[in-house]
Structures are given as C-alpha cells and as structure tokens.
C-alpha cells in the first residue's frame, strides 16, 4: 500500500476554546487489481482507532506518533480514479485551559480580529529541582505542535482566520505556560510563496496556493481563468491548471499552476534509414529530421506554407521542409511538428507532376525536341543539269530564295544533307479566357524569324507554331495556356527573314 500525507495542520478552535488539529493521508494500492474492498480493509487496519497517538508526517515521507495529541475522530473518503483519503482530527492529551473569554474586535474597515489566551501545563525536566527547570531549546511547550504559527489559517468557531501572532510565556518554575493567539478574519490568503519547477523536457512551471472561502471561490476562479496570462507568475507564464480541495470545513485550498508558453523549438531529432544499394554499390539512405515546436496560437500562421523551404536553421544543411502538422493543445497553444528531408533522399522528387496547377501566373514550362532540316537543291541555289549533275540557277537570289542568311549559293555538299537541330516549346499561363491572348497571338505571326533568347538560350529561331486552350488553377480561377514552338537554326546558321516571311 502506498501512503502519502495530503495535508497537515488544519487548526480548529470551537466556541469553548478547545483546540484540535486535522490531517489527511492518501492511501493507494500498489496492485490496483486487488480492488477497492481490499484497499478499504487495509486502510481501516492502518488508520488505527480513536484515542490512539496522532500521526505527525516527517519530511522523509513517513510519520511519527505524538503522545501529546490523541486521535478524536477518523473518517474515510473514496477518491475518483482510485484510492482513499483517511482524515484525522486530534485533541491534546492534557487540554489547554482557556483563560477568560475570547476578545473580538472589528476595525473601521470592517475587518474582524480575535485573540485568546490559554494556560498549558508543562512537564519539569528535573522534578527534584523545580527551581531550575530545563525547557526545550525553543522555549515552547511540548504541545507546541498544537499551536499555529503566524500565517496559518484557523477554523475559529466556523469562521476563517489567519494567525497573526502566537506568543508563549512560561512561569518562573516552568510548570505552566500562557499561550496567546491573535488572528484576523480572511476570505482569501496566499499560502506560502511561489514554487518554480522544470519538467524533464525543460518546460518551466510555477505554482502558488491560496486559501479561499466558499463565498469567494467563484469570484476568485473568475479572476484567474485557465488559458490567460498569469501575472503572479511572470510575463510568459499562462494559467494551465487549477486544483481545488477542501480546507477543513471553512473554505478551500486552491492551487494555481502556470506554464511558460512561447514560440520556440522544443526538440529536434534525426532519423536515418537504409533504403537500398545503388547500381554502383553505394548506399542509398533516407534522412529525416523532426522538429517539435511550442507555438503561441497567435503565431501559428508563421508555420503555414513552410513546406518546400530551407530547414538548415534547425536541421543539417541541404534539407527542405516536407511536412508541417499543427496540433491545437489549448486556446493559446499549439504543438507544431515539422518534418524535413534531405534533398538527396531517394524518391523525394518522384512525386513531381506536370499537371500541377498551382501558381499558374508565374509559371513557365519548357520542352526541347530533336528535329531534322533537309536542304533542297533550290534552297541551296542549284538545279539539275542536262548531264545529270547540278548547275547554278540563273538569276537565283539568296536574299529571297535561301532559308539561311547567305551572300551567295550554299556549299553544294549541303544539298540533300540532313541537319539536326532543336525545337524549343515554351508554355506560359495568362489569367482570363482565350480571347484575352488572341491579339498577342496575331502579333506573334507578323514575323517568322526571332533573333534573341528563347528559354534563356540565345540564337536564331524560326517560329513554328502556337496554340492556346483554357484551364483553371487549383483555386478554380480561369487561365489560358499559351504554347509556342521555336526551331533553332542548325549548324550555326541564321534564319533568313526574307525567305521565311514568304513561306
């Protein structure tokens, strides 16, 4: 059975001035399958009976028995999720005697204060020499466990008070002590300071405890809502958890927990997987980086459209972002998982397809094909002679009858030769319907020869053909696809506009 102290030192003073101290212990089974009945039986055996010494928790997690305090009541309460609460109330074995009456005052601000004094018997350390008793080093009576220290919340006749002072005076013989307790009525009180902790993954947390009466609880919880900035904890801390438990019968113990939340990289991991051997015997590997970010909800948009961008800031060089997965954790926080792959990963770019229709307005597709050009005798300036050979064509002019720029006839060995060259096809996209590009297409046909750049390659080009058709981008907007083909002049020649504008 696992035993933990849940609370200790809930002080009560009844209308007759009698003191009592409360404590709660949580008990759980080490083997939950044993069941609630077995736990209850074990708890009854552990808890003991009324009249037995009171259990006082120790810093090590155990307890000691106080002979000065005797158990006056024991109760049991089941916890959700398993376990039991054992609640004790204890009274002094030789009770203090109230001296006079309780003094109560209300100041001009309406704050109620109470004070009372008690006579407490002390045991002399040396009965044979009562003139020189040995008191404890603290100068306090042995029943000091019963007396509250300043800052302790008291249940004083059903009202919530905070102890402001506890004065203890002993008489000359050390046989009696007079204890005076003064307290102020409270509705909300911070219990101790702010604790700071850090989880295994480095996440900082801060928590603080308050005593809050039932009447003030709803208002208090509205003041410290979940998901909002916790001013009590600091600038980047947000209220993440609120635990409320009874504080005796006079109020509640409220624990506020705040986490530090801001946009930052929490972790980055690298995985490497063997894919195959290449034809040359080299190893083909799949390298994937995974980064986990804590992200403020107001900044999660910064991770949109991150795919395809460089990831070298948190991964190794030459990696690009391939996947981004935001997961909403609360109204103020997201956990964003970013995956990045090395550019050389096998298959990374195999999913590319020319049917992609994103960003059509800025897109240009280029295609190049091998083609042949055969020079005819007439284009070279020759005709068939009577002897079966070739002879120059009388009156032949290169400026109008030769497809290439030339000052005269072409070399005779070019007649019938097959010259290899390229046809370059360029496709661009224009927003709107096909009617919007007709004027441009008509102007393109005005001259057959273009000297300049096509697809960033300079040369002499012959305009071969053009066409257009309508399509839509991924958003459904209409575009016109305009395709134009250009034939590069072969063998370093330049096309002759005087010839081609007539053919």
Q: Which of 283, 308, 342 is the last residue of a domain?
A: 342
Which residues lie below 8 Å from residue 243, measured CB to CB, with a gap of 6+? 254, 255, 257
Asked whether 47 and 85 are in contact (CB, 8 A), the reply is no
Question: In this structure, how many other beta carbons lie within 10 angstroms of the beta carbon of residue 315?
Answer: 24
Conformational region of residue 299, where left means phi above 0, alpha means psi within -120 to 50, and beta covers everything else: alpha
**Is 118 domain-assigned?**
yes
Q: Which of 154, 185, 216 is the last residue of a domain?
A: 185
Give the separation between CA 199 and CA 203, rounded to whole angstroms.
Answer: 5
Query: Tokens in use for 344?
Result: 């050389």
**Is 413 domain-assigned?**
yes
Q: How confident is the model at residue 204 (pLDDT cuts 50, 70, 90)?
A: very high
Q: Residues 377, 489: one domain? A: yes
Mean pLDDT of 83-110: 88
Give the separation between CA 322 and CA 347, rounded to whole angstroms.
Answer: 13
What pTM did the predictor assign? 0.58
Q: Residues 77, 155: one domain? A: no
Q: How confident is the model at residue 351 (pLDDT cuts 50, 70, 90)?
A: low
**Is 354 domain-assigned?**
no
Among the listed residues 236, 186, 240, 175, the one whose alpha carbon sits nearest the alpha carbon of residue 208:
240
**Is 349 domain-assigned?**
no
Mean pLDDT of 118-141: 54
Q: SS in 3 state form for 109-164?
A: CCCEEEEEEEEEECCCCCCCCCCCCCCCCCCCCHHHHHCCCCCCEEEECCEEEEEE
Q: How far apart are the first and last CA of the chain?
A: 102
Q: Give 411's Cβ-side CA count (13 Å radius).
A: 4
Q: Residues 254, 294: one domain? A: no
Q: Which of 260, 293, 309 is the last residue of a domain?
A: 260
- Please tell me which residue, 362 or 291, carries the higher pLDDT value: 291
- Please tell me which residue, 347 or 498, carries the higher pLDDT value: 498
pLDDT digits (tens, 9 = 90+) for 30-42: 877 677 888 888 8
**Is 350 domain-assigned?**
no
Among the listed residues 166, 217, 157, 207, the one whose alpha carbon sits nearest the alpha carbon of residue 187:
217
Q: Residues 176, 285: one domain? A: no
Total count of domains within the chain: 5
Mean pLDDT of 340-345: 91
Lowest-confidence region among 23-27, 254-258, 401-405, 419-423? 23-27
342 pLDDT more than 80: yes
Range of the domain at 85: 2-92
């Amino acid at each position: 059975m696992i035993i933990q102290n849940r609370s200790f030192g809930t002080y009560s003073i009844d209308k007759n001035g009698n003191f009592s101290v409360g404590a709660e212990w949580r008990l759980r089974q080490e083997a939950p399958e044993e069941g609630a009945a077995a736990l209850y039986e074990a708890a009854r055996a552990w808890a003991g009976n009324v009249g037995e010494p009171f259990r006082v928790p120790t810093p090590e997690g155990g307890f000691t028995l106080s002979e000065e305090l005797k158990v006056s009541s024991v109760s049991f309460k089941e916890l959700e999720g398993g376990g039991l609460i054992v609640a004790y109330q204890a009274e002094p074995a030789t009770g203090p005697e109230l001296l006079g009456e309780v003094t109560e005052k209300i100041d001009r601000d309406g704050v109620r204060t109470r004070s009372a004094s008690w006579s407490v018997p002390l045991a002399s350390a040396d009965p044979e020499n009562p003139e020189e008793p040995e008191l404890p080093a603290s100068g306090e009576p042995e029943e000091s466990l019963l007396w509250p220290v300043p800052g302790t919340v008291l249940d004083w006749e059903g009202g919530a008070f905070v102890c402001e002072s506890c004065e203890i005076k002993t008489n000359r013989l050390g046989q009696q002590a007079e204890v005076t307790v003064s307290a102020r009525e409270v509705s909300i009180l911070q219990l101790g300071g702010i604790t700071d902790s850090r989880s295994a993954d480095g996440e900082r947390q801060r928590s603080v405890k308050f005593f809050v009466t039932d009447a003030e609880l709803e208002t208090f919880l509205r003041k410290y809502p979940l998901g909002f900035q916790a001013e009590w904890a600091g600038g980047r801390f947000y209220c993440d958890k609120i635990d409320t438990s009874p504080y005796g019968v006079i109020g509640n113990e409220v624990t506020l927990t705040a986490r530090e939340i801001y946009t930052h990289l929490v972790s980055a991991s690298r995985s490497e997987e063997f894919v195959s051997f290449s034809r040359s015997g080299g190893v083909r590997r799949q390298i994937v980086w995974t980064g986990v970010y804590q992200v403020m909800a107001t900044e999660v948009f910064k991770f949109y459209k991150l795919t395809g961008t460089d990831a070298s800031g948190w991964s190794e060089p030459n990696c690009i972002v391939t996947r981004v997965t935001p997961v909403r954790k609360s109204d103020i926080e997201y956990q964003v998982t970013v995956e990045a792959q090395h550019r050389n990963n096998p298959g990374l770019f195999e999913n590319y397809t020319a049917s992609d229709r994103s960003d059509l307005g800025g897109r240009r597709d280029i295609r190049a094909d091998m083609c042949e050009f055969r020079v005819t005798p007439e284009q070279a300036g020759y005709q068939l002679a009577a002897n079966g050979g070739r002879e120059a064509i009388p009156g032949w002019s290169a400026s109008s009858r030769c497809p290439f720029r030339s000052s005269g006839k072409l070399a005779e060995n070019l007649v019938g030769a097959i010259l290899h060259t390229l046809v370059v096809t360029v496709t661009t996209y224009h927003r709107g319907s096909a009617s919007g590009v007709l004027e441009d297409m008509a102007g393109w046909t005005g001259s057959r020869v273009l000297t300049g750049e096509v697809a960033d390659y300079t040369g002499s080009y012959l305009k071969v053909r053009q066409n257009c058709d309508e399509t839509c981008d991924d958003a459904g907007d209409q575009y016109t696809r305009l395709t134009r083909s250009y034939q590069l002049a072969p063998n370093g020649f330049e096309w002759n506009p005087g010839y081609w504008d007539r053919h």
